Amino acid sequence: MLHGHQTWLFNNQPTIVATAVVGGPFEALGPLADDFDLLHGDLWLEQDSFEKAQKKLLEDACAKAIQKGGLQKQDVQFFLAGDLLNQIISSSFAARTLATPFLGLYGACSSSMESLSLAALIVNSRAANYVLCGTVSHNGAVEKQFRYPTEYGSQKPPTAQWTVTAAGVALLAAEGEGPKVTSATIGKIVDMGITDPYNMGGAMAPAAVDTITAHFRDLDIDPREYDLIVTGDLGRVGYEIAADLFKKHNLDIPAEIFKDCGMMIYGPDQQAEVLSGGSGCGCSAAVTYGHLLNRMKKGELRKILVVATGALLSPLSYQQKESIPCIAHAVSIESSQ
């Protein structure tokens, strides 16, 4: 199971039998809109707070994934999820609705692959037959907690990113048809002393490179074994830093296979709003469980490595002048075709 220092090999290769991706109105304007299962036209989702709207995003995604998997919610044995709000309330409240044994996670934006890697570990060990995992973020709710309410209209620097309004969920099974989860590399905390909450990409890039380097070291494979290595979500600033760090680490990753979810989810017409790119727990989950797995099903991708990154700050730690510890988790997904 453990291969090298920090990588799990899943010999039983858990199957992603269904996924669901739900987004908001701004995501409906982006280039990946067709990869969403459901797009809401109202940022409030007919709720009376952004926090409740974030919860509904995750509830909708869970219900859709279970439906697409041909199951009932009582068939799901564990639910793993996390989000960016205090005490991961969106995930725990959605778990209340789902009424499934729940493991709440907090890895900031790395929670998408943290939940997938742990779900795969559970299924691979035959501790469960069906495990649901996912993450969610909402622009209005998250910006209010970590930066300023959008109504405040504060000016952001070019290094800042736009919190994605989306939820992405995957249903894993011990048997079935679909892409296989073959390995996962669990990241370490990397803190380069950055304190600017408007430069998450710069803070997270070293953690992404550290985990990617560990993945190839532990498995002793070449990056070209992957059709795509995608980070989530460094944005343009962090992506360029990561590309430079690969060269310093003598890791040869061709630009044509190295992409970033935060740069993929929005188009050039949205550049003024998103600045460096998209971010938030829902960003890498939505891109992976929607766009990337759809490409895999079409035969365009055979094997991908998704590296979700997280900045583990809080409003309190920022106010106390702490630097920003970061982490990244990598999961390898292979086509069954």
At residue 315, the pLDDT reads 86
Architecture per CATH, 180-334:
3-Layer(aba) Sandwich (3.40)
The label of the residue with tokens 């570990």 reads: 121
| Tens of pLDDT, residue by residue, the chain (337 residues) | 899 999 999 999 999 999 999 999 999 999 999 999 999 999 999 999 999 999 999 999 999 999 999 999 999 999 999 999 999 999 999 999 999 999 999 999 999 999 999 999 999 999 999 999 999 999 999 988 876 666 666 788 899 999 999 999 999 999 999 999 999 999 999 999 999 989 999 999 999 999 999 999 999 999 999 999 999 999 999 999 999 999 999 999 999 999 999 999 999 999 999 999 999 999 999 999 999 999 999 999 999 999 999 999 998 898 899 999 999 999 999 998 7
Torsion of CA 319, 317, 330, 69, to 10 degrees: -90
Distance of CA 336 to the CA centre of its chain: 22
In single-letter form, the type of residue at position 158 comes to P
At residue 154, the pLDDT reads 72
CA angle 261, 217, 249 (to 5 degrees): 70
Q: Kindly state the helix (H) or strand (E) to which residue 184 belongs, with its residue range.
A: strand 180-185
Q: What does the block give as tokens for 275?
A: 């600045």
3-state secondary structure of 62: helix
**DSSP string over 112-173:** HHHHHHHHHHHHHTTS-SEEEEEEEE-HHHHHHHHS--GGG-----TT--EE--EEEEEEEE
φ, ψ for residue 95 (rounded to 5)? -65, -30
At residue 149, the pLDDT reads 62
Do the beta carbons of residue 261 and residue 328 sit within 8 Å? no
At residue 143, the pLDDT reads 86
Domain ranges of the chain: 2-173, 180-334
Q: Which residues contact 204 (CB under 8 A, 6 or more apart)?
A: 109, 234, 238, 309, 310, 311, 326, 328
69 vs 191: CA distance, rounded Å = 40
3-state secondary structure of 308: strand
In single-letter form, the type of residue at position 160 comes to A
In single-letter form, the type of residue at position 133 comes to C
3-state secondary structure of 204: helix
pTM of the model: 0.96
Domains 2-173 and 180-334 share a fold: yes
At residue 153, the pLDDT reads 64
Q: What does the block give as tokens for 264?
A: 């993929």
55 vs 49: CA distance, rounded Å = 10
What is 2-173's CATH number, 3.30.413.10, 3.40.47.40, 3.40.1260.10, 3.90.870.10?
Answer: 3.40.47.40
